[in-house]
Structure 1
Amino acid sequence: MHRVVTLAVAVFAALFIYPARAEVLIGVAGPMTGKLAWTGTQLKRGAEVAVADINAAGGVLGQQVRLITVDDFCDPEQAVVAARKLVADGVVFVVGHYCSGASIPASKVYEAAGVLQISPSSTNPMLTEQGRATVFRVCSRDDAQGFEAGNFLADNWGDRKIAILHDNTTYGKGLADETRKQLSKRGVTESVYQDYAPGKDDYSAEIAALQAADIAVLYVGGYHTEVALMARAARDRGYSFQLISGDDTATEAFELIAGPAAEGTLFTFVHDPRRNPEAAHVVERFRAENFEPDSWTLHSYGAAQTWAQAVGKAGSLEPQAVIASLRGNQFDTVLGRIDFDDKGDLTTQSWVWYVWRGGEYVPVE
């Protein structure tokens, strides 16, 4: 009788006290509201479709995956709050964050909890330079992007007046500083280097000052909302100059805000994964739902896809096993074949020049 009671207690504990995990929880974190909500939607949709495809293929280790979405407002403090919520909810992995200024503080929370993080889009070098084992990203870094931008400015406008503006965010100032650093190495000194206040509705005063200084080319380290408003302000003044920015300009929202003033804007972005053969079927699915997977949508999909493959190769959800799998394998994704170095960065860093032309961004030929 004693053995029967003991067995019954064990069964009760297994079923109710220590229930088997019925599903695997993962998170996606980004600016779901506010001025960057358009981009947050891209991250969310990419992760949602990736999870749907993972589940349709049997899930991970035979378990279905459920996605939890949190809003970090692209704000460092809110990012920590969002990260803590995901940890409390029991996620084992996070697609995110979008902004470097959100990813960096959130990464400390994830590391302490043993939660893996793969950012689709945070490009500031500090994210992986911190040495946190739980951090990876499927995008290139701003030191490589700034190197490309600095050389481009020196090669094409080295004898003209160059202005560099930034928004004082981790992303914007970091990118501007990397660009300025490479420009200086090429023996070129910009005529203007200063910050601007993000979040304003009008930047005509800043543009008027650049026009008075006879600036020929403006490089902006910042987000697409303000860059688009600067483009509009210049067009309204009849001020013709070359506007150049970074990867956040790769979104339909830029053209929607800038309107005709978007035409001719140059920027760096990673190779557009919509052009990858490996992504064709996924792109078709998005477009069938009247959703254009521009910007970082497919990087969000690729982050979740990479994690699922790493879990499969590890045969475990245990963090150290998945980390070892991420570092020790290559992964075939919508982004192409990728692998990571010891810091959690892609082993190959590359940036491509694009131009806004006819309502879309296309590679510079």
Structure 2
Amino acid sequence: MKKLLLAGIALGAMVAMAMPASAQVKVGVGGPITGPNATFGAQLKNGAEQWAADVNAKGGLMGEKVEIVIGDDASKPEQGVSVANKFIADGVKFVLGHFNSGVSIPASEQYAEAGVIAISPASTNPKLTERGLTNVFRTCGRDDQQGATAGEYILKNLQGKKIAIVHDKTPYGKGLADETKKSINAGGVTEVIYEGINPGEKDYTALVSKLKGAGVDVLYYGGLHTEAGLLVRQMRDQGLKTVLFSGDGITDKEFWTIAGPGAEGTLMTFGSDPRKIPAAAAVVEEFKKKGIDPEGYVLYTYAAGQMLQQAADATKSLDPKKIAEYIHSGAKFDTVLGTLSFDKKGDRTSGDYVVYVWKDGGYSEL
């Protein structure tokens, strides 16, 4: 009996050694899965899930399978904090998100307290990385860079035009509008209108009438695609040919769906199109096979996952503190966005904002 027992124990040990590791590392994806910005939440989700599938096919993170955990913040700051706390309670140590700056900023306070790394693919407000938090990073640029690019284009290419600046009162929208205003004001141009609107409203007739009365040639809008699309549609309905100029908040084809053909000629700032980067070719092809256009922040999210993978490999650890220290060290990461490195704040050491124009339902770099 004793020999049989020992033999059973030995056999069990051999089976256990032969079985693949079942441990999992949870990676949270926080973004607007529902609500008016759900199209951007889908971009983050698609990018994260493709990265997880690819990294798991190669053995996972440090031999552990990546499990993607989705948190819907609906673009609401208080809901974002709830998502962050849920992630923390569930043992999530790494987060790809959030989308909105107004959500990422308060959520990051929770992550900092719990020692969770948060890498935003899309939150551009400078405040996100200006608070001395060592666990916060972003694969996108900042609004002071984006606003400067927009301002430079306006000063160089739209001389003598009447400019109006409107924002949606959010940290992202107002922040971007103010950076653009700062840039054109420094170049000697003063806007004829500056005001905020309430996101979620459907009727902007009064604002459009005001733009018409002031003879505005260019409307710079700091905000997201839903309101931007409605502004364009309602300007055209009133016979206004004013050109809309906006930022990365309209980088989804849904903008065109809302705005209609009147969106032709809309200007927009965004990073150089990652879909055209040679390093992204294989991944872009994988998305296309699934019927997904990796526009907007899809590849920015994928790149955030690549950072985690390469930092884990380099440190031979899944300790968030060690990984954060490695990212801050100036190490270079080979990603679908090209080679990235980060400063002590958690920002990219290089920015690449350019101007795009919308035409025939899509956008292309000027």
Q: TM-score range by the shorter chain?
A: over 0.9
Q: Which moved more, 1:150-159 or 1:273-282?
A: 150-159
> Aligned partners of 1:325 and 1:197: how far apart in 2?
41
Distance (Å, rounded) in 1 between the aligned partners of 2:156 and 2:315? 47
Give the counterpart of 1:360 among 355, 359, 362.
362
1:273 aligns with 2:274: yes
Q: Secondary structure at the match of 1:139?
A: coil
User: Which position in structure 1 is the counterpart of 2:84?
Assistant: 83
TM-superposed deviation, 1:159: 2.3
Stretches of 4+ moved more than 4 A in 1? none
Q: Distance in 2 between matches of 1:330 and 1:157?
A: 38
Query: 2:333 & 2:152 partners in 1: Cα distance?
Result: 32
The one-letter amino acid of 1:240's match is: K
Letter in 1 for 2:72: D
CA contact (8 A) 2:219 2:245 kept: yes
Cα distance in 2 between the residues matched to 1:209 and 1:360: 29
For 1:138 and 1:156, the matched residues in 2 are separated by 29
Distance 1:249 1:315 in 2: 39
Note the C-alpha offset of 1:187.
1.4
Structure-1 separation of matches of 2:156 and 2:27: 45
Superposed counterparts of 1:1-365, under 5 Å: 22-328=23-329, 329-364=331-366
Q: Using the TM superposition, give the Cα deviation of residue 156 of structure 1 relative to its aligned residue in structure 2, in angstroms.
A: 2.8
Distance 1:355 1:202 in 2: 25
Query: 322-331 vs 84-93, which deviates more?
Result: 322-331
Shift, 1:158, TM fit = 3.8
User: How far, CA to CA, are the matches of 2:204 and 2:298 in structure 1?
Assistant: 29
Offset of 1:284 from its aligned partner?
Answer: 1.1
Report the secondary structure of 2:106's partner residue.
Answer: helix
The CA RMSD measured in Å over matched residues stands at 1.5
Instruction: Report the Cα offset of residue 188 of structure 1.
Output: 1.3
Q: TM-score normalized by structure 2?
A: 0.92
What TM-score does the superposition give when structure 1 sets the normalisation length?
Answer: 0.93
User: 150-159 vs 283-292, which deviates more?
Assistant: 150-159
Distance 2:22 2:124 in 1: 34
The answer for unaligned runs of 5 or more in structure 1 is 1-14
Question: Number of residue pairs matched?
Answer: 347
Indicate the larger mover: 60-69 or 235-244.
235-244
Separation of aligned partners in 2, 1:123 and 1:76 = 15
Q: Displacement, 1:160?
A: 2.5
Distance 1:162 1:204 in 2: 18
- Paired amino acid for 2:341: D
1:351, 1:32 → 2: CA distance?
26
Q: Aligned with 1:188: secondary structure?
A: coil
CA distance in 1, matches of 2:258, 2:162: 27
